[in-house]
Amino acid sequence: MKGILIGLIFICLSGMSLSANAWVYGENLTIVEVTEWQSDGDVVFKLSSGTTCWIPGTEKKMYSLVLSMFATGIKGHFHCHDAEESIVGVPAHRFHKVVAFR
């Protein structure tokens, strides 16, 4: 009985960790819109799929890459976290990774 209970707890915790690592993913997308507020605030960008993602204002390297991709129209595979947050009233997913290509 104790072994079954431990097994059930393990299964529940495994399911929670899987859902915590879910992604919003898109292939061959371009950035069609970038919104930035005054100061070093967060940056919100919209992908050609309609998905909206955001980057903290402190991540300058990632911000530069997003602006470069927006300006040049370079496509990429985008990964954003599944959880949606409100960034200055805009619902968006926290940006995680991009693979840019021509």
For the chain, the domains span 23-101
Q: What is the pLDDT of residues 34-80, one digit of tens each?
A: 999 887 789 999 999 999 999 998 999 999 999 999 999 999 999 99
Q: What is the pLDDT of residue 81?
A: 96
Quote the pTM value. Answer: 0.76
**Hey, which bits of the chain come out as E strands?**
23-29, 31-36, 43-47, 52-55, 75-87, 90-101
The CATH number assigned to the domain with range 23-101 reads 2.40.50.110
| pLDDT of the residue at 37 | 86
CA–CA separation, 19 and 21 (whole Å): 5
